[in-house]
């Protein structure tokens, strides 16, 4: 089973949105397909950030998230690295991943060294064959509040159009089915014909 270290930004994104790649990562943990690694400092950081009022997470939800990480995860006592990092607060995640042989999953790859063990949620899902390579999100897309808009060209207009027609948007892959792309094309052609 693959070991992972979940950066706080991924954990929080999964908690506040029922859709998106961070949620898919946490679903893999819940389904025991991957195993989280953590240290005491990471659990403290999770608890502190999940409690921010702006996220509006109940204390019960916060407790469930923390409990699941601890119950399904592996506690690690990381060795402290000396590699320069953009943000010193990120060292606990990097060191825990290094010490446990885990993959560090983060929405902020720029904060870390350019190493194969550091992946965005979409990169990890591709690696796990959960997400097709065609749907790989950019790092900017990973942080976007519109996480179901992929770099593959799904427009916001198309999403609104598909929602209006109650077309199915796949919540696991966060993408539209190929037939929806055809509908998007028709939608865009219709807009173009109106504007001429």
Give residues with Cβ within 8 angstroms of 25, minimum separation 6. Answer: 4, 6, 10, 14, 34, 105, 121, 124, 125
Summary mean pLDDT of the chain: 78
Is residue 149 in some structural domain?
no
Indicate the pairing of strand 34-38 with strand 74-75.
parallel
Q: What is the per-residue pLDDT for 132?
A: 53
Please enumerate in sequence order all residues whose Cβ is within 8 A of that of 61, keeping only pairs 6 or more positions apart, or say none.
15
Residues 80 and 119 reside in one and the same domain:
yes
Mean pLDDT across 33-46: 97
Task: Kindly state whether residues 122 and 170 are assigned to the same domain.
Answer: no
Contact 77, 42 (CB under 8 A): no
- Residue 101: predicted pLDDT: 97
Q: Where are the beta strands (DSSP E) in the chain?
A: 2-6, 34-38, 74-75, 103-105, 118-119, 169-170, 175-176
pTM reported for the whole predicted model: 0.69
Q: Is there a single domain that holds both residue 116 and residue 189?
A: no
Pair 122, 178 in one domain: no
Tell me whether residue 70 is in a domain: yes
Pair 58, 110 in one domain: yes
One domain, residues 32 and 10: yes
CATH number of the domain that residue 21 is part of: 3.40.50.1010
Sheet with 34-38, edge to edge strand ranges: 74-75, 34-38, 2-6, 103-105, 118-119
Asked if residue 148 belongs to a domain, the reply is no
Domain count of the chain? 2
Q: What does the pLDDT average to over 155-182?
A: 44
Contact 100, 37 (CB under 8 A): yes
């Amino acid at each position: 089973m693959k070991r992972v270290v979940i950066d706080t930004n991924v954990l929080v994104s999964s908690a506040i949105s029922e859709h998106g790649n961070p949620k898919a990562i946490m679903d893999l943990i819940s389904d025991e397909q991957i195993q989280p690694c953590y240290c005491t400092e990471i659990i403290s950081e999770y608890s502190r950030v999940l409690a921010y009022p702006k996220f509006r997470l109940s204390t019960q939800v916060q407790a469930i998230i923390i409990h699941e990480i601890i119950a399904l995860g592996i506690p690690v006592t990381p060795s402290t690295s000396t590699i320069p990092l953009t943000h010193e607060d990120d060292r606990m995640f990097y060191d825990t991943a290094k010490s446990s042989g885990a993959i560090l999953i983060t929405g902020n790859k720029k904060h870390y060294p350019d190493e194969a063990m550091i992946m965005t949620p979409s990169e990890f899902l591709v690696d796990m064959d959960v997400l097709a390579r065609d749907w790989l999100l950019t790092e900017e897309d990973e942080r976007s509040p519109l996480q179901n808009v992929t770099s593959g060209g799904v427009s916001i207009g198309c999403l609104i159009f598909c929602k209006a027609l109650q077309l199915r948007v796949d919540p696991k892959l966060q993408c539209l089915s190929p037939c929806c792309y055809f509908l998007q094309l028709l939608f865009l052609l219709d807009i173009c014909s109106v504007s001429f």
